[in-house]
A and B are shown apart, each in its own frame.
Chain A
Amino acid sequence: MQKVSDSKLGRTITSLVPDRNNRSGAFTAFWRRFASNELAVFSLLGLILLITVAIFGPVLYPQSVIKPDYAAINAGPSPDHWLGTDNLGRDTLARLMFGLRVSLLVAVYVEVLNITLGVTLGLLAGYFGGLIDVLVTRLADILFAFPGLLLAILIAAAFGAPVSERFGGVGRLLLVAGSISLVSWSLMARYVRGQTLVLREQEFVLAARSLGASDLHIITQHILPNVAGLIIVSSTLDVASVVVNEAVLSLLGLGIQPPDPSIGKMINEAIPFLESSPLQVFLPSLALMLIVLTVSFLGDGLRDALDPSTLR
């Protein structure tokens, strides 16, 4: 049997298949459902604001992230230091905005890794089954035996100091992201695999195959668009736990290294001075909770707005 992967034929096939019909109408319907959820829209705006602050805040605000002001140690808010200073006299707002940037950057790196690794392997395992399926699910099972952050802590213990010495702060940030995604990609792979198992038995896949579409064409044009909603929702919701995990690692001294600011590190450094300057602990905590809440509500809103039947 000859396999036809002609792009022209590919277009005819897609036009016959129901899942590609009125794509723009589907988006309008999705947007209408999403817009009716006030909390989700509000969270989306909040998240956009947080991202804007993370990008432009450190540029616009004049205070240095690492330079200490010896005249103001553990000081309260003032015109010079809008949110006060920490125990070394470093400006809290500047550090907070930079920490926000670090948190969001780690989240972006982790989700990029999760999506490239988890989605690819999940699609391949679900679509082809057989040996690759066994390998992927086995690997996911093994990684799941390490609860929570245990594997990330192990990686930080073994590679953390050498990576920091050789590649500096950026290298450490990538190591943190990599070690967090080491376990979480397998969750993404599980979701995608489960969905692919269902989708590959559907009539439109059979129709595409009988018209001679290649495996690659079926996966990218028919399966992937149908798991896209699942991928978007689960990676949005996952951002909340990534941000918390990065903070935990930095708080334990295993993540972002001083003097680079990170929200977790800021909390840890300020706890000994909790009694005299509680603001230095509660402000980073508040910033962290803002990210976690906006991302969670946004994820819930996206899940409700996308076709609920395709999600779990």
Chain B
Amino acid sequence: MIKLILKRALSLPFVILSITFITFIVGYLAPGDPILTMMGTRRDPALYASLRHLYGLDLPWYQQYMNYLTGLLHGNLGMSFRFQERSVLDLLGSGMSVSFTLGLTALALSLTVGVPVGILAALRQNSALDRGSMSVMLALYSIPSFVLIPIFQWINYQLYRFGLPSLPVAGWGTPQHWVLPVLVLSAASVGYIARLTRSTMLEVLRQDYIRTAYAKGLTNRQVHWTHAFRNAMLPIVTLVGPSIAFLVTGAFVVENLFAIPGIGFVSIQAISRRDYPVIQGTTLILALAVVFMNLVTDILYGVLDPRVRVEG
């Protein structure tokens, strides 16, 4: 077990180094001079030189990259180009907890809804329940969040207009503000998880050991829960990785359309100010979060499946 964790963890530095390099080099290659933009209409060569030096932009690229890496190791994501006394971490700090709370709540909701729906549909294959729920799940999966959001907001406007209880359609703070963003954010991954859980469960139900279990005279309930479900859990764990990809893209849309002060919202604001270090920091944080979640999934897979543990 420890061997497995170590082996998985050892491949991390290469991936992490590549991620930092890509986020760095895209910014380095970007045309335009951030210092000139920062100075606006003032043209003072001495100030220009000192600002360039302050941000380390007068160094060759490999030294800039080394400085960037050293900074990262100290938990320093760099300085904002636009707010000269503020660091990127400072700008993103509060947004990070908002975004991760939102994302993890949505992930938890997609798993608690998607997995049972998928299993139920598989157990009642080809029934009206199966077909009905899978059509709904396909719709949830294929309707983009920016189409879903206006529909929800419009319904709420109508509810409000007729004096019925309605939810806030933008902002962040009270629990009521959470409902719509979490629902929209989890929609695509609920559909994805439910549909794949169903096909995984159907696959397992076709296995020989299920027939053996029935032949032994076990009840439906015993076969479904102790034989089928436990084996279907394994592939379901691997679904978490791809669902996080939905959540990340979804978070940008949901945060911006609901005006939620997460890192997606903050970095889109930063892009319009041409404040590259902020979006650089966001990219790094999200990519690292995904890499970390994939590592956890890998290890969890090893915990659940003894075969993976042996092969390592």
Contacts and interface: CB of A to CB of B under 8 A. Distances in A.
Given A145-B291, A153-B283, A156-B271, A296 B147 contact: no
Contacts of A153: 252, 267, 271, 279, 283
Nearest to A284: B147
Contact of B246 (A146, A148, A158): A148
Contact of B146 (A162, A264, A292): A264
Given A145-B19, A285-B147, A285-B150, A248 B142 contact: no
B199 interface: no
A29 interface: no
Given A153-B283, A278-B154, A252 B252 contact: yes
B287 A248 contact: no
A39 B283 CA distance: 40
B32 A161 contact: yes
User: Which of B144, B267, B268 is packed against the most chain A CB atoms within 10 Å?
Assistant: B144
Interface string B115-153: 000000000000000000000000000111011011101
B301 interface: no
A157 B276 contact: yes
Interface stretch (A75-83, A97-105, A197-205, A267-275): A267-275
Interface residues of B, number: 46
B150 A267 contact: yes
Interface in A152-208: 153-162
Contacts of B279: 153-154, 157
B249 interface: yes
Contacts of B253: 248, 251-252
B157 interface: yes
Interface stretch (B21-29, B173-181, B218-226): B21-29
Interface of A: 141-142, 145-151, 153-162, 240, 244-245, 247-248, 251-254, 264, 267-268, 271, 274-275, 278, 281-282, 285, 288-289, 292-293, 296
B256 interface: yes
A146 B291 CA distance: 9
Contacts of A151: 22, 283
B248 interface: yes
Contacts of A275: 154, 157
Nearest to A243: B144
B15 interface: yes
A271 B257 contact: yes
Interface of B: 15, 18-19, 22-23, 26-27, 29-32, 142-144, 146-147, 149-151, 153-154, 157, 244-246, 248-250, 252-253, 256-257, 267-268, 270-272, 274, 276, 279-280, 283, 286-287, 290-291
19 contacts: A145-B19, A147-B287, A148-B248, A150-B248, A150-B249, A150-B287, A153-B279, A156-B271, A157-B279, A248-B249, A248-B253, A251-B146, A253-B268, A253-B271, A267-B146, A268-B146, A274-B157, A285-B150, A293-B142
Contacts of A160: 271
Given A157-B271, A288-B144, A145 B150 contact: no
A252 B26 CA distance: 20
B27 A158 contact: yes
A154 B23 contact: yes
Contact of B29 (A158, A271, A274, A278): A158
B15 A142 contact: yes
B interface majority secondary structure: helix
A147 B32 contact: no
Contact of B150 (A146, A240, A281): A281
Contact of A159 (B22, B31, B248): B31
B290 A296 contact: no
A289 B18 contact: no
Contacts of A158: 26-27, 29-30, 276
A288 B30 CA distance: 32
Given A142-B18, A288-B144, A289-B147, A154 B153 contact: no
A247 B249 contact: no
A154 B280 contact: yes
Contacts of A155: 26
A227 B77 CA distance: 44
B32 A248 contact: no
A251 B244 CA distance: 21
A148 B31 contact: no
A269 B290 CA distance: 32
User: Which of A149, A252, A264, A293 is packed against the most chain B CB atoms within 10 Å?
Assistant: A252
A142 B22 contact: yes
A167 B271 CA distance: 19
A81 to B, nearest CB: 21
Given A162-B30, A296-B142, A274 B252 contact: no
Contacts of B276: 157-158
Contacts of B256: 251-252
A153 B248 CA distance: 12
User: Which of A142, A151, A154, A282 is packed against the most chain B CB atoms within 10 Å?
Assistant: A154
A270 B245 CA distance: 27
User: Which of A148, A162, A244, A271 is packed against the most chain B CB atoms within 10 Å?
Assistant: A148
A151 B23 CA distance: 9
A142 B291 CA distance: 10
